[in-house]
């Protein structure tokens, strides 16, 4: 990220409230520093995989401290943000942008730009991780449901034999009931571990989505209205969509976001329709069909379709298409040094 219309600001001035010593004075060692690091309270942990054949109630992940660093170049006015975790980048970058905007709010504002490639590969990795965690939850809940069904059937058969005037031999049915009960408790623990892993992956995906949205806004110089439209379709509200996976009528984040991006690509970002899907100004808005019942979105087997749609949205934004004012927009590819 770099600023173009104002002079560069030292990091000690941007984060002056964080450079205070115990006495309340500013540290002299950090006044001319070109780098600032932040240590997070949360820890970066390796992915916990919950499979059908292996499940553990303990968390074997080894925590590593998450650190984010801001580097300032001496002459070019560029700010480089790097971290040991992608989820830690968003908060630092958003805080840096907010502080720079606040500093120059009464002086005509500041122009921030991002000219490098979008970190789509890293975003796709967090997307796959969240999708795999949802798949693990579905497998664990399905196994728990099957075990609970087997437990109820055994209970009914035992009750029938106990009520019979001439009960038949149990044939170790009580032993099967005990084993099923033990397996039921084990699978319940697996479901809890799978839910924790899904929540952890959901938080990482939410931070990654926030980071991608912020970089897309600076990369394609989106207005506030366009950014609100993009944010409403590529929503970072991942945790709100993490419902129970057994009920297929509840849609998750992947299928909801894919449907939203598909709608964008067929309307506002459709290349043949320059103004929100209309061929000209005299053509009326299409009337939506209300007699079609809503169809629940199915859980996707893979995330390839969603990845392709995210890449298509980025490509069409790079070609100059916008969501709210496509009239007269250039159809050529935008320059890499957009400010």
What pLDDT, on the 0 to 100 scale, is given for residue 125?
Answer: 94
Q: Is 304 helix (H, G, I), strand (E, B) or coil?
A: helix
Question: pTM to 2 decimals?
Answer: 0.79
Torsion sign (Cα): 217, 222, 223, 229: negative
> What element of type H or E holds 66?
strand 64-72
What pLDDT, on the 0 to 100 scale, is given for residue 25?
Answer: 52
Residue 298, classified by CB atoms within 10 Å of its CB into exposed (0-12), middle (13-18) or buried (19+), is exposed
Beta carbons of 54 and 32 less than 8 angstroms apart: no
What pLDDT, on the 0 to 100 scale, is given for residue 34?
Answer: 80
CA atoms within 13 A on the CB side of 324: 9
> What element of type H or E holds 309?
helix 304-318
What's the CA gap between 339 and 329, in Å, rounded?
17
Beta carbons of 96 and 79 less than 8 angstroms apart: yes
Residue 127, classified by CB atoms within 10 Å of its CB into exposed (0-12), middle (13-18) or buried (19+), is buried
172 vs 154, 162, 176, 243, CA distance in Å?
11, 14, 6, 39
What pLDDT, on the 0 to 100 scale, is given for residue 99?
Answer: 86
Q: At what angle do helices 173-219 and 89-103 cross, to 10 degrees?
A: 30
| Residue 259: other Cβ atoms inside 10 A | 14
Nearest to 257 by CA among 205, 222, 220: 205
Beta carbons of 276 and 267 less than 8 angstroms apart: yes
Q: Is 177 helix (H, G, I), strand (E, B) or coil?
A: helix
Residue 87, classified by CB atoms within 10 Å of its CB into exposed (0-12), middle (13-18) or buried (19+), is buried
What's the CA gap between 26 and 15, in Å, rounded?
11
Beta carbons of 318 and 326 less than 8 angstroms apart: no
What pLDDT, on the 0 to 100 scale, is given for residue 53?
Answer: 45
pLDDT tens string, the chain, 339 residues long: the values are: 656 555 667 777 777 777 765 445 555 455 556 888 888 876 565 444 444 444 554 444 555 678 888 888 877 778 888 888 888 888 889 888 888 888 777 777 778 888 889 999 999 999 999 999 999 999 999 999 999 999 999 888 888 877 777 767 777 788 898 999 999 999 999 999 999 999 999 999 999 999 999 999 999 989 999 999 999 999 999 988 876 545 555 788 999 999 999 999 998 888 755 444 444 545 555 555 556 666 778 889 999 999 999 999 999 999 888 887 644 444 433 333 333
> What element of type H or E holds 112?
strand 112-113
DSSP code of 303? Answer: S
């Amino acid at each position: 990220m770099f600023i173009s219309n104002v002079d560069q600001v030292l990091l000690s001035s941007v984060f002056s409230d964080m450079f205070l010593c115990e006495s309340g004075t500013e540290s002299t060692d950090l006044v001319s520093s070109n780098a600032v690091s932040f240590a997070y309270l949360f820890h970066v942990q390796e992915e916990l995989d919950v499979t059908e054949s292996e499940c553990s109630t303990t968390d074997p992940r080894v925590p590593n401290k998450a650190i984010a660093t801001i580097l300032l170049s001496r002459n070019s006015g560029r700010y480089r943000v790097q971290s040991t975790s992608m989820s830690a980048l968003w908060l630092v970058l958003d805080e840096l942008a907010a502080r720079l905007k606040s500093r120059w709010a009464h002086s005509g504002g500041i122009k921030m730009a991002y000219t490098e490639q979008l970190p789509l590969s890293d975003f796709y990795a967090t997307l796959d991780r969240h999708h795999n965690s949802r798949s693990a939850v579905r497998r664990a809940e399905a196994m728990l449901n099957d075990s609970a069904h087997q437990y109820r059937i055994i209970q009914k058969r035992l009750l029938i034999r106990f009520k019979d005037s001439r009960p038949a031999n149990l044939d170790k049915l009580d032993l099967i009931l005990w084993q099923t009960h033990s397996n039921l408790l084990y699978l319940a623990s697996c479901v809890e571990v799978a839910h924790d892993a899904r929540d952890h992956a959901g938080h990482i995906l939410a931070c990654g989505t926030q980071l991608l949205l912020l970089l897309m806004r600076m990369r394609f110089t989106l207005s506030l209205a366009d950014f609100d439209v993009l944010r409403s379709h590529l929503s970072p509200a991942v945790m709100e969509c993490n419902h129970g996976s057994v009920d297929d009528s509840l849609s998750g984040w992947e299928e909801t976001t894919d449907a939203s991006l598909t709608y964008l690509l067929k309307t506002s970002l459709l290349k043949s329709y320059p103004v929100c899907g209309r061929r000209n100004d005299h053509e009326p808005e299409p009337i939506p069909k209300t007699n079609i019942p809503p169809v629940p979105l199915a859980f996707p087997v893979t995330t390839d379709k969603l990845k392709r749609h995210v890449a298509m949205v980025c490509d069409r934004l790079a070609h100059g298409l916008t969501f709210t004012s496509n009239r007269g927009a250039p159809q050529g590819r935008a320059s890499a040094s957009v400010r």
